[in-house]
Chains A and B, each alone.
Chain A
Amino acid sequence: MNIKHFIATYIIVFAFWILLSAHFDTFHVGSGIVCSSIVAYASHDLLFTGTGNHTLTKIVRFIAYLPWLIYQIVLANIDVAKRALSPRMPIDPQVVTFKTILRSDVARTALANSITLTPGTVTIDIVDDVFYVHAIAKEPADDLLEGAMERRIAHIFMED
């Protein structure tokens, strides 16, 4: 058992407990201490896998990526709302595939979720290195295949 990972997990879990309970009497803090130690003991090797390096840089870059993602989410919603409310309903669904350059599971998950949240595309499946993406029309599919988002994710997780 890695004592550093245990203590780090313990602090995070206990801070989370305090935030959620919002009570500071002996009973609540005491049960928080007991529960946090059990949870931290059971899961200290899940939160910090100990394999990655530059974790802090990745976190900072990911936080810097969030505003752009939120902007894309807003665009996606306006796009879907337009298509749904327009009487002619300008959709032409198609499934596109592309090969990814990302290697780690976290990076692939981030890309898959980003694709789902950005305009006109939903990730269906990842088989080996190939993403299967359902696009609601031709333009979003072309935008996706151009690969700007994949490069951003690769930059965040230092895989470029």
Chain B
Amino acid sequence: MSDTIINLTNVITILLLLVGAFFMLAGTIGFVRFPDFYSRMHATGKCDTLGEGLMLVGLIVYGGATFVSVKILFLIMFILLANPTSTHAIAKAAYDVGLEPWRKLDDRVEWMNTGDTGNTSNTGNTDDGGDDQDGGEER
């Protein structure tokens, strides 16, 4: 009986850690792929919150009702509070400096004006990540 409980605890812990790791990975991929600063804040600001949260919940499940679990619970609460706040602080700093958000339409117009005919058929929705990224970096 107790073996079953231990196994169940392990399974839940592993699942939570894996799902958390998946969201962290997705956030990091988004961070690399998204075209500009602000959209990257979306990826890191959200995925880190849930990814870290799930992993810490997994550790609580593994640890059981101990003082360490309570500390981890405080960690989760702190992350829930601090992550959006820091995201906001960084985004506000960028906005105050005058960093323009990347726009899909602006990008298309600028390509037409500069006569970049290399891939005019590619200016619609079918941009792959690489092109978008370059466009964002130049801004």
Question: Which of the 9-residue segments A4-12, A44-52, A90-98, A152-160 touches chain B?
Answer: A90-98
| Given A83-B30, A89-B129, A117-B84, A134-B41 contact (CB < 8 Å) | yes
Report if A122-B38 is in contact (Cβ < 8 Å); known contacts: A80-B27, A84-B43, A113-B84: yes
Q: Mark A46-89, 1 if CB is under 8 A from B, else 0.
A: 00000000000000000000000000011011001101110111
Q: Interface code B13-42, partner A: CB below 8 Å = 1, 0 otherwise?
A: 000000000110011011001111011011
Say yes or no: B81 contacts A91, CB within 8 Å.
no
The smallest beta-carbon distance between A50 and chain B, in angstroms, is 23
Residues of B within 8 A of A84 (CB): 26-27, 29-30, 33-34, 43
- 16 other A-B residue contacts (CB within 8 Å) besides A76-B46, A84-B30: A73-B49, A77-B46, A77-B50, A80-B42, A84-B43, A88-B126, A93-B35, A112-B88, A113-B81, A113-B88, A116-B46, A117-B46, A117-B49, A122-B87, A134-B41, A134-B42
Could you tell me the dominant secondary structure of chain B's interface residues?
A: helix
Known contacts: A80-B46, A94-B103, A95-B101. The answer to whether A88 contacts B125 by CB under 8 A is yes
Chain B residue at minimum C-beta to C-beta distance from A73:
B50
Given A73-B46, A93-B101, A124 and B95 contact (CB-CB distance below 8 Å): yes
B binding-site residues for A, Cβ under 8 Å:
22-23, 26-27, 29-30, 33-36, 38-39, 41-43, 45-47, 49-51, 53, 67, 70-71, 74, 80-81, 84-85, 87-88, 91-92, 95-96, 101-104, 125-129, 132
Q: Say yes or no: A123 contacts B27, CB within 8 Å.
A: no
* A interface residues, Cβ below 8 angstroms from B: 19-20, 22, 73-74, 76-77, 80-81, 83-85, 87-95, 112-114, 116-117, 120, 122-125, 132, 134, 136
Q: Are B45 and A122 in contact (CB under 8 A)?
A: yes
Q: How far is the CA of A83 from the CA of B41 in the complex (A)?
A: 13
Tell me the complex Cα distance, A84–B129, Å.
9
Return A132 CB to nearest CB of chain B, in Å: 7
> Are A19 and B39 CB-contacts (below 8 A) given A80-B27, A113-B81?
no
